[in-house]
Amino acid sequence: MKLFKKNNSGSKVLIEENLFLPHLGCKRNIWIYLPPNYYTNKKLRFPVMYMNDGQNLFDDSGIGNWKLDERLDEYYTETGRTQIIVGIDNGGEERLDEYLPWKKGRAYALDWRETIYPFICRNFRVSLQRERTGFGGSSLGATILLEFIANHQDLIRSFTFFRRQSK
């Protein structure tokens, strides 16, 4: 795991490169936003939000940058509330198939459940409570959330569907 970005607030964005997903049979980058207070209280467990299209959350992937780390830092400054964000890169040309349950979407959801979720739980202080675990996506990345709602509610409580704002 390597540091991708450190913000003035103290938050960090890490990247786990090439995590193998056995059900899809491929490797994927996983982005992890750690809030400014992550290192100050070693006993605190954080809510976690998993998000699709991870390459757009913290970096300009060529189709935009949500600057989510900067927005979360501002939110923390204003409210004192925070969470860990885990961004999962999409499969590029495979994105359409991976985000549709009747194609490769079920395999993607199983890779999240059996590989990504345990990896995050082992390596970061995330809350294991269902009530403090969410999943989000935008556009096609929100479509796959239907698979998670149908088959993975035992681990996830909240689902967020985002709409991209036009400038």
Nearest to 76 by CA among 135, 9, 158: 9
In this predicted model, what pLDDT tens digit does every residue of 90-134 receive, in sequence order?
999 999 999 998 899 999 999 999 999 999 999 999 999 988 999
Residue pointed to by tokens 């989510």: 68
In this predicted model, what pLDDT tens digit does every residue of 18-43 receive, in sequence order?
999 999 999 999 999 999 999 998 89
53 has a pLDDT exceeding 50:
yes
pTM score of the predicted model: 0.92
DSSP state of 105: I
143, 99 contact by CB (below 8 A)? yes
Who wins on pLDDT, 67 or 85?
A: 85
12, 34 contact by CB (below 8 A)? yes
CATH number (3.90.1150.10, 3.40.50.1820, 3.30.830.10, 3.30.390.30) of 2-162 reads 3.40.50.1820
Enumerate the H helices of the chain as residue ranges.
Answer: 68-79, 95-98, 106-111, 117-123, 140-143, 145-151
- 3-state SS class at 82: coil
167 has a pLDDT exceeding 50:
no
Q: CA 98, 136, 156, 149 torsion: positive or negative?
A: negative
153 has a pLDDT exceeding 80:
yes
Name the token pair of 149: 């709602």
